[in-house]
Structure 1
Amino acid sequence: MDDPRKQAPSASATVRFRPEIVSAAAYRQGRPAPEGGFKLSSNENPFPPLPSVVAAIEGAAQEVNRYPDASAAGLVARLARLNHVADEQIAVGPGSIAVLHQLVTAVAGAGDEIVYAWRSFEGYPSVVTLTGATAVQVPLTAEGVHDLDAMLAAITDRTRAVLLCSPNNPTGLTLGHDDVERFVASAPRDVLIVIDEAYVEFVRDDEAVNGLAIIADHPNVVTLRTLSKAYGLAGLRVGYAVGHPEVIAAVRASGLPFELSSIAIEAAKAALDAREDLTDQIDEIVARRHQIEAGLTDQGWALPDSQGNFVWLPIGARTEWAADVLEAQGIIARVFPEGIRVTVGERESIEPLLTATAEIVRGLSESAETAS
């Protein structure tokens, strides 16, 4: 029987919402896997949390009746040591996307513009929309990397920030360090340049951009990093920015108090203290990435050189069909109009993944023969 206390909603709300919020598409989370399958749709670390991290969580849970340290001083100090910077150059928040929102909020509002490559991280449009600024999306090159020349040309007097994603999510390609140095040197000094390095721990390309090496000489540059991926804290959401103290002060002022819970703070501190143990996990994920890429290359795939904890299948118009083939093997991946992103997951997921991708290759080949 229906609860008589429940009231049906009125036909329409009378609240006046911002038009851009009403029309905005909500962020789509990666789909969960069915029982016995593999969730390779969210770029998560497949390893369970370390015992020391679990112990820190359990310890912090005993004091959740108290507010956390709003400054997260112990966490900030560890991150500063890790990145060889001063404490005042670190800002933390509930995931790097939240810190990015604080950054953009600090510099942009209605009438301003934010430039970023597309396709790139799906959270970028939401961040821009929430600030009231206008998104200026610059298409990737045919190779799937940022077109830095076109992005530079897209900067106008209204541009307040440029977002660079390296490795790019979802294509996995990095930006060259020298290329970014030239870009930064050519861009206006009053435009904030954010280098999103959420997957930096998985990068093995010596030529890839190192945001930390750029911020030292360019106070308008900030690098974003996260503990959600390599450090296995996706469920607790801890990210941070590294930049000039004045920029970081503005980031901190743009955030809300107590955004990081005491549990997240203590877990992050424990994960950083166990960095050597996590390095073994990271190396294993990279080894699995190489194994998957080798198998895909043998099947005939033309792959971008992914430097993240995922691979990119540039399928094009038949992504939905290919996703169904993957799902039939228990593989749930992230589907985009241009291709499919597959997270490097459990070792046991590699064989069914390569079985499915071989079937996709056969299907694409048969379709091409039929069309000809």
Structure 2
Amino acid sequence: MTSIDPNAAPVPAAPGTDDAAPAPAPGVRPRAVLDALPRYAAGRPATVVEGLQSFKLSSNENPLPPIPAVLDAIRDTTAINRYPDAVSTRLRERLATYLEVPAEDIVTGGGSLGALNQVLATYAGQNDFGAPDEVVYAWRSFEAYPISVGLSGATSVRVPLLPDGRHDLAAMAAAVTENTRVVLLCTPNNPTGPILTHDEVVDFLGRVPSHVVVVLDEAYLEFVRDPAAVDGLALYRAYPNLVLLRTFSKAHGLAGLRVGYTVAQPVITENLRVSAVPFAVSSLAETAAITSLDHLDEVLARVDSLVAERDRVVAALTEQGWDLPQAEGNFVWLRLGERCGDFAAAAERQALSVRRFGDEGVRVSIGEVDANTRFIDLCRSFGA
């Protein structure tokens, strides 16, 4: 028979009972850096408004589903009881053929953000004396940057964008110090939209020490139509410190499957493979990505339709008097300042979800044709 110690601490009640929940365990605390990090704010679904179809224009998602061949391929995938290939060999070999690069120069990750986190885990954190490394990037840019940098143990060095929403590359080069380990360049810049040109990136790389890793984030590459845009593949071949960051989330419409990758020379990839998360790309996701590449003409035809819609939106808003930054992604940026909240509320009343960034601006994704038309009408009634 088991005896009961009357002096023993009470056992916490099981979940779902009427007894009070136990207090948090003393001494269990998260890392101090968490208090200093912003919280990632995912785009919210649109509010339901009676009589109106709701449209989500807040997450830069492809509004079109994957091409039919992809849906057929993943429908037939059954071996999900087995672990996937840890290094996504089939996908890397297919990408190598498509990009005309060695498969060894490609490292996959869970979306482009997962691939970026692998870069930061490899090259940014704390130096040998415990001081934080520095990561330089433009701001505002992709909102996950400060979170990923902070969690890596490094310090963010944010360089303000130019008034037209472009990177201030001269100021970014000047911000590089002996503590800088990584620089992040986002083209087209999310959320503002402008691209980096080939010539200005070449000039920038010439100003940055060769031991500093420069990441070219090309998540929206397939939507770019500016002929002056940077040619990342050409530069990766010329600069051993350059890393290209790409994804299947946007153009290919595979955001929910999380497939991203980096392209870099072996001096970098041999280290990235050490920090790469095993099994980050599932077998289902790998099959979807390969199938999408095998039917690239269909994918790019859909991208062309979205670019046409983007151009229609930009033309309409420009005619209304809106002063828009260059839009080369699948979104537009409204520099609304203190009117951001009013615009977001007005969009919500029209069953449109948009992405507000404080009082800086509102980013609106290019969505379905009807959604884009309603957005154009909203901008007309709101006023530039």
1:49 aligns to 2:71 (yes or no): no
Give RMSD over aligned pairs.
1.4
2:75 pairs with 42, 55, 58, which one?
58
Q: Which amino acid aligns with 2:364?
A: V
Quote how far apart the aligned CAs of 1:16 are: 3.3
Q: Which amino acid aligns with 2:47?
A: P
* Alignment length (residue pairs): 360
2-11 or 319-328: bigger deviation: 2-11
1:275 aligns to 2:296 (yes or no): yes
Return closer, same or farther for 1:189/1:6 CA change in 2, 3 Å cut-off.
Answer: farther
Return closer, same or farther for 1:279/1:225 CA change in 2, 3 Å cut-off.
Answer: same
Check the 8 A contact 1:325/1:359 in 2, yes or no: no
Quote how far apart the aligned CAs of 1:133 are: 0.4
Q: Which residue of 2 aligns with 1:77?
A: 93
**CA–CA separation in structure 2 for the residues paired with 1:216 and 1:11:** 53
2:38 pairs with 25, 29, 39, which one?
25
Check the 8 A contact 2:118/2:277 in 1, yes or no: no
1:241 aligns to 2:247 (yes or no): no
**CA–CA separation in structure 1 for the residues paired with 2:136 and 2:19:** 46
Return closer, same or farther for 1:134/1:357 CA change in 2, 3 Å cut-off.
Answer: same
CA distances 1:111-144 after superposition (whole Å, capped 9, x unpaired): 1000000000001011101110000000001111
Return closer, same or farther for 1:319/1:13 CA change in 2, 3 Å cut-off.
Answer: farther
Structure with higher Rg: it is 2
**CA–CA separation in structure 2 for the residues paired with 1:5 and 1:98:** 42
Return closer, same or farther for 1:300/1:9 CA change in 2, 3 Å cut-off.
Answer: farther
Quote how far apart the aligned CAs of 1:3 are: 2.4
Report the 3-state secondary structure (helix = DSSP H, G, I; strand = E; otherwise coil) of the residue aligned with 1:22.
Answer: helix
Quote how far apart the aligned CAs of 1:7 are: 6.3
CA distances 1:229-284 after superposition (whole Å, capped 9, x unpaired): 00000000101111101211211211221111111111111111111111110000
Return closer, same or farther for 1:13/1:272 CA change in 2, 3 Å cut-off.
Answer: farther
Q: Which amino acid aligns with 1:283?
A: D
Q: Which residue of 2 aligns with 1:318?
A: 339
Report the 3-state secondary structure (helix = DSSP H, G, I; strand = E; otherwise coil) of the residue aligned with 2:238.
Answer: coil
Quote how far apart the aligned CAs of 1:360 are: 1.6
- Unaligned 5+ segments in structure 2 are 1-14, 127-131
Check the 8 A contact 1:116/1:138 in 2, yes or no: yes
Quote how far apart the aligned CAs of 1:348 are: 1.1
1:114 pairs with 135, 139, 144, which one?
135
Name the % identity: 47
Quote how far apart the aligned CAs of 1:15 are: 1.4
TM-score with structure 2 setting the length: 0.91
Return closer, same or farther for 1:352/1:246 CA change in 2, 3 Å cut-off.
Answer: same
**CA–CA separation in structure 2 for the residues paired with 1:59 and 1:126:** 37
1:340 pairs with 362, 365, 383, which one?
362
CA distances 1:9-67 after superposition (whole Å, capped 9, x unpaired): 4156521322112332221110012342110001111112222111221222x111111
Return closer, same or farther for 1:6/1:229 CA change in 2, 3 Å cut-off.
Answer: farther
Check the 8 A contact 1:99/1:251 in 2, yes or no: no
Quote how far apart the aligned CAs of 1:165 are: 0.4
Check the 8 A contact 1:319/1:335 in 2, yes or no: yes
Equivalent residue runs for 1:204-219 within 5 Å = 204-219=225-240
**CA–CA separation in structure 2 for the residues paired with 1:249 and 1:236:** 25
CA distances 1:263-307 after superposition (whole Å, capped 9, x unpaired): 111111111111111111000000000000011011100111110
Quote how far apart the aligned CAs of 1:358 are: 1.0
Check the 8 A contact 1:43/1:343 in 2, yes or no: yes
Q: Which residue of 2 aligns with 1:105?
A: 121
Q: Which residue of 2 aligns with 1:177?
A: 198
222-231 or 329-338: bigger deviation: 329-338
- Unaligned 5+ segments in structure 1 are 365-372
Q: Which amino acid aligns with 1:247?
A: I
Q: Which residue of 1 aligns with 2:314?
A: 293
266-275 or 287-296: bigger deviation: 266-275
Quote how far apart the aligned CAs of 1:109 are: 1.0
TM-score with structure 1 setting the length: 0.94
Report the 3-state secondary structure (helix = DSSP H, G, I; strand = E; otherwise coil) of the residue aligned with 1:135.
Answer: strand
CA distances 1:146-201 after superposition (whole Å, capped 9, x unpaired): 10010001000000000000000000000111000010011100000000010000
CA distances 1:186-226 after superposition (whole Å, capped 9, x unpaired): 11000000000100000000001121111111000011111
